[in-house]
Amino acid sequence: LLSGGVDSAVVVHRLKEQGIDPTLFYIRIGMDNDEGDCSAEEDIEMCIYIARKYGLPFEVVSLHREYWDHVMEYALRTVKLGLTPNPDMMCNKMIKFGFFEERWGHAFDKTATGHYATTTERNGKIYLSTARDKKKDQTDFLASITYGQLCHAMFPIGNLPKSEVRRIALEANLPNARRRDSQGICFLGNINYNDFIRRHLGERPGPVIEIETGRKLGEHRGLWFHTIGQRKGLGLSGGPWFVVRKNIPDNVIYVSRGYDTALQYGTELPLTEMHWITPSGASVLGTVGSPLKVSFKNRHTPDFITGTLLAGDNDGEFMLTSDKPVQGIAPGQFAVIYTPDRRICLGSGLITCLLYTSPS
C-alpha cells in the first residue's frame, strides 16, 4: 500500500532489495467534492514514479464511499455525542486492513504497509509489537485490527528509525525523500476541522463554566468542537484554561485554570468493548479475572503509562487503574494495552469515563 509518502516508498525499496516484486496500490478515500482531496493527485504522481522506477504494476483503487460510511460517519456520530473519536484506528481496521483486504489484498500472500510497527511470534501465535523508533511507533493506531488482518500484514520498516528511512530514501534518489510527514485527518486536506464539523453538525451554543466556582466565563459553539484536556480554541482570557469535564445533557463545558490543576487528571479509565488482537492474548499478562499489570497509552504519544487492568462484571468491560495521574482522559478515545515491558501491543478498549456529569 503506497501513500505517496517516504515511508511506504522505502517499503517498496526494501522489498525489491529482498528480491520481492510487489504489486502497488493507492487507496483513494477523499470525496470528489469540496469535502477535501488529501492532495491525492500529488500523492498518485509520487506513486506512479515509484512504480516506474522499480518496474512494478500499480493500481489506484477507490474506497470513497466505504471511508465515508465507516470512518467519517463514525467520527461525526461520536463527536455529536460529545465524545472524542479516533478515525485513524477505524481507518486501519475498516479500510486499509478491511475493505482493501476483502477486495484486493486477499489475492496476495501479504499486504505490506509503511506503518512503524513489528510483529512477534510466541508459542505459535503472532503478536503486534512496537517499532524500533518509539517516537514514530504506530501500534496505537493498529490496536483494533483483527488477528486475521495482523497475520496477513507486513511492516518492513518497523525495525528502522525514521532517520534511517530518510537516509535510504535519499541514497535511492526517491522523489519524496524530503517530503514532510502527513498530519491530521487525511481526507480533509486543507479544510479546517472545525469548519468540517460545523458544516455537518452545525452549532449548539452553551455555557463555559469554571468548575471550581461555577462562574460562567463565556459560551462555546458546540460540545463537538472541544475535547477533554483541550487548551487552545476556547477564546478565554487570563488562562491557560483546560477543558476538564462536559455535561452533555445540559450542554455545558467545564474548564479549570492553570497547567497544574488536579482536575485535568485522573487515575481510573473505565473501558468497554475490550478487543484483544491475538486470541487469548491477555493470557501473556496472567490470569484474566485477577489484576493484570500493563503498560498503556490513552493518546498518540511515545510515552507509556503503567497500570493495572481488572475485568468487570460484564463481558468486555474492564477497569484500568493508572499508577500515576493521567492528563486529559477523553471518553470515546481508546486505551491501548501493552505488556509491562512495552514490547507487545495486545489490544484496546473504549474509554467510557464518568466525567460526563455535572460536578458535585
Whether the Cβ atoms of residue 273 and residue 328 lie closer than 8 Å to each other:
no
Inter-CA distances, 169 with 51, 114, 166, 178, Å: 15, 13, 5, 8
Whether the Cβ atoms of residue 103 and residue 123 lie closer than 8 Å to each other:
no
Whether the Cβ atoms of residue 222 and residue 204 lie closer than 8 Å to each other:
yes
- The SS3 of residue 166 is helix
Closest C-alpha among 348, 359, 278, 360 to residue 320: 348
- Is position 353 annotated as part of the catalytic site? no
Closest C-alpha among 250, 199, 245 to residue 226: 245
Give the per-residue SS3 of 51-94: HHHHCCCEEEEECHHHHHHHHHHHHHHHHHCCCCCCHHHHHHHH
- Give the side-chain half-sphere CA count within 13 A for 204: 18
The catalytically annotated residue of 38, 47, 186, 345 is 186
Give the per-residue SS3 of 291-331: CEEEEEECCCCCCCEEEEEEECCCCCCEEEEEEEEEECCCE
* Whether the bond into 240 is cis, omega within 30 of 0: yes
**Crossing angle for the helix pair 6-17 and 40-54, to the nearest 10 degrees:** 10
Closest C-alpha among 77, 24, 55, 79 to residue 230: 79
The catalytically annotated residue of 38, 91, 345, 353 is 91
If you count DSSP H runs as helices and E runs as strands, how many of each does the chain have, helices first? 9, 16
Residue with cell string 477486495:
103
Whether the Cβ atoms of residue 277 and residue 260 lie closer than 8 Å to each other:
no
- Give the side-chain half-sphere CA count within 13 A for 10: 27
- Is position 91 annotated as part of the catalytic site? yes
* Joined grid coordinates for residue 266: 485522573
List active site positions.
Answer: 91, 186
